[in-house]
A and B are shown apart, each in its own frame.
Chain A
């Protein structure tokens, strides 16, 4: 399907002018707009405090290593702790989230049982609930059981992700042949064996996609950790950078630290993003793995 599609695209040449100048031009303008702040922050991270305000916007500076050293020294290296915390929240949360979504999606796609549609609709209804309605009462409830301001308070609420369950269900429906499950069942495989030996391996690529989206969502989340956490040793990068800005707004000498911090915060995600290109898909309905 995807191969023939490419073929058709190449053949239909007679449009938008001979070279496709209009779409190419429009897309390049969009690309430049999207790359502009990111490329600036890369350059700004190299500027000393004086250079930030005196040299022209895109002129590289001479202070990269000094900035790095200053950031490492900032409040006894709390920045590296934020980085590790973020990895823990995003990695752990996305892993658990993917597992729950995959098992739920497989069950909803491949079992028929009383209450199936009801459970699916209720779970999916969660998509429409605004995060704000949840974050504050979640904080209050965590406070009641003494778990506010802990790693758990940020990790646990982000495991359930209704849209991932929906994607997993669609993907399981397309990627797991009923005949395979039936064959396994005839051979006497238990439900657990069918899940772990047949279903989950077939759902691999879909699970990678779900993991990536969830990883980015947790990595980028600001509201929940901002509300849950008070101790800056547990902050993720987003909240940490914000507190740096809030503290440093009146001290332009801190701007360099914030900028190099922002730059460093972007590297892991952008790396993940560029290396995992083929898994960044938003449509899992085509299922059975062309990637």
Chain B
């Protein structure tokens, strides 16, 4: 560890700090700035200078919070998000524990196969599943007795794409963390007569708690921003509206309707909600998971 005074560390950090300033801090600041402004049209709105940007305080936020479309979007994403988080992380945990089980065959093949969807872009995953959902292409709809892209099933079909794409990565994170556990711990439990299932539940899961928390927070952040899957599935069905998720609404406001100010306010609201959820989740589970130790 170098302790003497030097300019070197600052020079070495210049690229990262510059990129941070330009592509993170500046856009965030600009979003906040835009969210507080609006174009005001004076007179008939004709000619130069008749349109100017004015400061409107929190008006855009009030409008964003009072927007019915946005709230329906939030509710949809909440249902979708809970479904994805529970199923995806549940499967990831089960697979990780199974990979780590004492006697398991073909573990390498299964691990690679389950991690494979990580290498598939979300758009491609949505396209593949989207086509498989078409009754004329695959028997999936007959199998489940309902068209996957119909109004009642589309949320589940979309969740399936996200679960398919995300399980492997989370499994790998959890499995890697299990590898760091000292084996004497398991030996001790076995000598005490614990079954493999008991070891998984009583020893491995508590040890994994910090990793589970980490993947949950990342998954919450990713799920709130769901955009790719519904956007890519839209051309195949008319059951997904252009404001299906809050992020899709922001995109529409900014680029289709051309209302940047509302889009900026909504984006800031989404960022706020996702920060609150992530930190809230961290607080709750930290008290639970680490409160006793």
Of the stretches B15-23, B38-46, B58-66, B69-77, the one at the interface is B15-23
A83 in contact (CB, < 8 A): no
How far does the Cβ of A136 sit from chain B's closest Cβ, in whole Å? 5
Interchain CA distance A245-B228 in the complex, whole Å? 13
Residues of A within 8 A of B30 (CB): 137, 140-141
Is the beta-carbon distance between A245 and B232 smaller than 8 angstroms? yes
CA distance A287 to B51 in the complex (A): 59
B-binding segment of A63-71, A73-81, A265-273: A265-273
Pair B103/A104 contact, Cβ less than 8 Å: no
Q: Does B241 contact A (CB under 8 A)?
A: no
- Docked-complex contact A35 and B116, CB < 8 angstroms: yes
- CB of B180 to closest CB in A, whole Å: 7
A106 CB-CB contact with B under 8 Å? yes
Q: Count of chain A residues with Cβ under 8 Å from any Cβ of B?
A: 107
Report A-chain residues with C-beta under 8 Å of the C-beta of B122. 220, 222, 238
Pick from B124, B139, B180: contact of A238, CB under 8 Å: B124
B176 close to A281 (CB less than 8 A): yes
* B15–A222 touching, CB < 8 Å: no
- Determine whether the beta carbon of B102 is less than 8 Å from that of A241: no
Are B221 and A133 interface neighbours, CB within 8 A? no
Which residues A84-125 have CB closer than 8 A to chain B? 100-101, 103-104, 106-108, 110-113, 116, 119, 122-123
Given the complex, which residues of B lie within 8 Å of A101, measured CB to CB? 16
* B239 contacts the other chain (CB 8 A): no
A-side binding surface: helix, strand, loop or mixed?
helix
Q: Which residues of A contact B177 (CB under 8 A)?
A: 283
A289 CB within 8 Å of chain B: no
Contacts of A192 in B (CB 8 A): 8
With both chains docked as a complex, state the minimum distance between the C-beta of A198 and any C-beta of chain B, in angstroms: 12
Chain A residue with the shortest CB-CB distance to B127: A262
| Cβ contacts under 8 Å, B183 to chain A | 4-5, 8
Interface residues of A in 47-75 (CB under 8 A from B): 52-53, 57
Q: Does B26 contact A (CB under 8 A)?
A: yes
A229 to B55, CA, bound (A): 30
A53 proximity list for chain B (CB < 8 A): 136-137
Q: In the complex the two chains form, what is the Cα distance from A287 to B10 in whole Å?
A: 25
Binary flags per residue of A225-253, CB closer than 8 Å to B gives 1, else 0: 01100000000011101100110110000
Interface centre among A31, A116, A191 (most CB of B within 10 A): A31
Judged by a CB distance under 8 angstroms, whether B190 is at the interface is yes
Tell me the nearest residue of chain B to A272, going by C-beta: B119
CB distance from B139 to the nearest CB of A (A): 6
- B16 and A12 contacting across the interface, CB-CB below 8 Å: no
Q: Which residue of A lies closest to B139 (CB)?
A: A57
Whether B156 is near chain A, meaning CB under 8 Å from some CB there, is no
By the criterion CB–CB under 8 Å, are B164 and A255 in contact? no
Given A27-B106, A241-B123, A265-B124, A160 and B19 touching (CB < 8 A)? yes
Are A20 and B103 CB-contacts (below 8 A) given A104-B12, A195-B12?
A: yes
Residues of B at under 8 Å CB distance from A? Answer: 1-3, 5-6, 8-10, 12-13, 15-17, 19-20, 22-24, 26-28, 30-31, 34, 91, 94-95, 97-99, 101-107, 109-125, 127-132, 136-139, 164, 167-169, 172-173, 176-177, 179-180, 183, 186-187, 190, 195-197, 221, 224-225, 227-228, 231-232, 235-236, 247, 250-251, 254-255, 260, 263-264, 267-268, 270-271, 274-275, 278
Q: A24-B106, A191-B6, A238-B122 are in contact. List 8 more A-B contacts (CB 8 A).
A: A13-B102, A20-B105, A24-B110, A37-B129, A113-B9, A128-B274, A241-B123, A273-B119
